[in-house]
Amino acid sequence: MMAMSISTTSWLLLWRSGGGNVTALPIAPPPRILSTEKWRASRVLPQRLYRISGYSFGEPYFGRSGGNRFDAPGWKFNKAEYGACYLGYTLEVAMAESILHDQMPIDGKFLIANTVLQNSYVYRFTGDSLLLLNLTGALLKKLSGHGDLTGTSSYGVPQQWALAVFNNPARYDGFIYASRHATLGKAVMLFDRAEAKITQSIFTPLIETPGYAKAAKQFAIVGM
């Protein structure tokens, strides 16, 4: 049997020991190639997406506040490079990323004020297919990314990643990412350049939306 090289042996030892580190590497700023190479995109119809809002008008809304994970980093200088709109692939993801976003469960249940539930609205859309970069799975790994893109509590670096996608010559309408609050699901962030492609089609109060009761049971939401 051929002896292993020293480099291979060292690699195996590091692999088994975790590299000697007790903490994982945080996500780094995006590599240059994210904003220069035209990566294969996914075509997604607006009809597939859900958005939950506390407003009964003005959707889809593209925000520039800087207070959300993938907002334009230029907000710090009052020069936001784009507006951002957040949506879910499913009603469950949309609920987790909106009304449950800043909530903590008590004994395994979410106690949500009835006024919040009654004044939340589900929007569905129609329009042209959206050109989205899929920042999950193999591509995210190839770009030196990992779960911290949506897992870190700091929004600074994720906003840099979003700006890199925005600056790509492919002119993506947005990107797909792993939901932080419903980890088996996916969410979408759209740049305001996609505004002409997406139009409100259905608007219903959250508690009257088909599928709400099932999702509320799944998350153990209790109105109060």
For 102-132, b where at least 16 C-beta lie within 10 A, e where not — what string? eeeeeeeebebeeeebeebbbbbbebeebbb
pLDDT score of 84 more than 90: yes
What are the domain boundaries of the chain?
27-100+122-205
**For the ranges 14-18, 38-42, 178-182, which has the lowest average pLDDT?**
14-18
User: Residue 194: helix, strand or coil by DSSP?
Assistant: helix
pLDDT score of 3 more than 80: no
Model confidence pLDDT, tens digit, residues 85-123? 999 999 999 999 998 888 888 889 888 889 999 999 999
Specify the pLDDT at position 41: 94
**For the ranges 65-69, 100-104, 130-134, 147-151, which has the lowest average pLDDT?**
100-104
Specify the pLDDT at position 22: 62
Q: What is the DSSP letter of 207?
A: G
- The whole-number average pLDDT for the span 31-50 is 95
Q: Does the model's pTM come out above 0.85? A: yes
Strand 110-112 with 221-223, pairing: parallel
> Both tokens of residue 71?
């907002």
Specify the pLDDT at position 106: 87
Q: What is the mean pLDDT of the chain?
A: 89
pLDDT score of 186 more than 90: yes
**Amino acid type, 134:** N
Nearest to 125 by CA among 174, 170, 66: 174
Residue 1 binned pLDDT confidence (cut-offs 50, 70, 90)? very low
Residue 222 binned pLDDT confidence (cut-offs 50, 70, 90)? confident
pLDDT score of 132 more than 50: yes
Specify the pLDDT at position 2: 42
